[in-house]
Amino acid sequence: MANRSAVLHAVNDLRIEERPIPAAGTGQVLVRVAAVGVCGSDVHYFEHGRIGSHLMRSPMILGHESAGHVVDVGEGVDPARIGQLVALEPGVPDRTCSECLAGRYNLCPNVVFLATPPVDGSMSQFVAFDASFAHVAPEGITAEQAAMAEPVSVAVWANRRGQVGPGDRVLVTGAGPIGNFVAQVARSFGASSVTISDLNPYRLAVARSMGFDARLPGEIEGEFDVAIECSGAAPVVLSSMRSLARAGRMVLVGMGADTAPIDVPVLQARELTVLGVFRYANCYPIALGLISSRKVDVLGVITHRFGLAESVRAMTLAHDEPESLKVVVEPQS
């Protein structure tokens, strides 16, 4: 048996190669991967070979939003896990540093994260993975739904950081996959209204069809308790914070703007709080629950599916197909 994998060799050079099937090590499960969501970071490595200081120095398998079935277990793992559908939480922390001990394992400086150089990702037919971070999917959901637990976890964490709760008026800037999931999670957390902005008419229409107040950036009116920035566009930070009510929370999820101006008198007079988001901690079980209860509709966000052989197309689609949201690669087809 082979282990076909999507290996990025250099900018714009993604090849399908056969790699050995890994063995499940101590504390690991071997997973037959069924679905891998394409993230902006995969596309960024494909186009630039680096993200900030994370530079690719050798070929790397892409992908980190994955789910599949357990086909073998290593030492110390219950063989009853064989057959389970699992969602792979891609960042495995060291569990021993002060951040891990404080419960903030997303801030572990020693985290091993799929498809972050030099660690291979999961756009492969088989992956050996830490059993504790291979979360059992609830009954009744599919592998591609389970794979969406990754971006939905980002959305859960962003809403927790902003303390979104019943009655909150929430503004989400950016209606990409992350912004859409953030809006859906805000609603499930009890937000009284969710307004979402984007420049892309298709993405606005999808958000509107899900019941959100979807508008162009220039058409945002009113006052909000929480603003969750998911576009990465620098000027959005200033305009969003000016629309916050007293004691409002500004949550920065989007990446791309290295610096952004803030309105200091507004921040002071209204006692605003600005919060960063780095991935998530302890969110996978919640995300899977929201997906299986249909409080978060992930199928409405998946617009394209490709077999492994077409993974180059999966990487380039985002740029030339405005009517797209989440792209999923199916390594077994």
Enumerate binding residues for ligand NAD (CB under 6 A): 40, 154, 173-179, 197-200, 203, 217, 230-233, 236, 253-256, 277-279
Backbone φ, ψ for residue 126 (5° rounding): -135, 140
Measured CA to CA, the distance from residue 248 to residue 169 in angstroms comes to 10
Can you read off the two tokens belonging to residue 14? 């993604």
175 binds, among ligand NAD, Zn ion, none (CB under 5 to 8 A by kind): ligand NAD
Nearer to ligand NAD, 217 or 307 (CB): 217
Minimum distance of ligand NAD from residue 52's CB (angstroms): 11
Taking CB under 5 A as the criterion, which residues in 104-133 touch Zn ion?
108
Looking at beta carbons only, is 111 or 149 nearer to Zn ion?
111
**Can you tell me the distance from the alpha carbon of 12 to that of 49, in angstroms, rounded to the nearest whole number?**
9
CB of 92 to Zn ion, least distance (A): 10
Cβ atoms within 10 A of the Cβ of 267, count? 17
Tokens linked to 8? 């990025």
Position 97 contacts Zn ion (CB under 5 A): yes
Which residue number, 100 or 152, has a Cβ lying nearer to Zn ion? 100
**Nearest residue to 184 via CA among 176, 169, 194:** 194
**Position with the least CB separation from ligand NAD:** 176
**Which of 189/280 has CB closer to Zn ion?**
280
Q: Which H/E stretch holds residue 41?
A: helix 40-48
Phi, psi of 27 (to 5 degrees): 75, 10
Other CB atoms within 10 Å distance of the CB of residue 232: 17
**Residue 281 Cβ, how far from ligand NAD at the closest point, in Å?**
11
Of 49, 91, 93, 174, the one binding Zn ion by CB under 5 A = 93
Pick the closer one to ligand NAD by CB: 24 or 287: 287
Indicate which of ligand NAD, Zn ion, none lies near residue 236 (CB less than 5 to 8 Å, by partner kind): ligand NAD
Q: Give the binding-site size for Zn ion (rule: CB under 5 A).
A: 5
By beta-carbon proximity to ligand NAD, the closer residue of 176 and 331 is 176
Closer of 107 and 312 to Zn ion (Cβ): 107
Distances, alpha carbon 262 to alpha carbons 149, 233, 241, in Å: 32, 13, 8
Q: Which of residues 256-275 bind Zn ion (CB under 5 A)?
A: none
Enter the DSSP assignment of 47: H
Q: Closest residue to Zn ion, Cβ-based?
A: 108
Q: Which is nearer to Zn ion, 100 or 155 (CB)?
A: 100
Shortest reach from residue 98's CB to Zn ion, in Å: 8
- The pair phi, psi for residue 224, each rounded to 5°, is -130, 155
Q: Which residues pair with residue 169 across a beta bridge? A: 193
8 A C-beta contact, residue 297 and residue 303: no
Residue 100 interacting partner from ligand NAD, Zn ion, none (CB closer than 5 to 8 Å by kind): Zn ion
In the complex, the smallest distance separating the C-beta of residue 67 from ligand NAD, rounded to whole angstroms, is 17
Q: How far is the CB of 23 from ligand NAD (least distance, A)?
A: 31
Name the E strands within the chain: 3-10, 13-19, 28-37, 50-51, 54-55, 60-61, 65-73, 85-88, 91-92, 112-113, 126-130, 134-136, 169-173, 193-197, 213-215, 224-229, 244-252, 273-276, 302-307, 326-330
**Shortest Cβ 256–Zn ion spacing (Å):** 27
Cα angle 230, 236, 240; round to 5? 95
168 versus 198: smaller Cβ distance to ligand NAD? 198
Say whether residue 100 binds Zn ion (CB under 5 A).
Answer: yes
- Token pair of 209 as six digits: 């069809």
**Could you tell which of ligand NAD, Zn ion, none binds residue 24, using a CB distance below 5 to 8 A set by kind?**
none
Residue ranges in contact with Zn ion by CB under 5 A = 93-94, 97, 100, 108
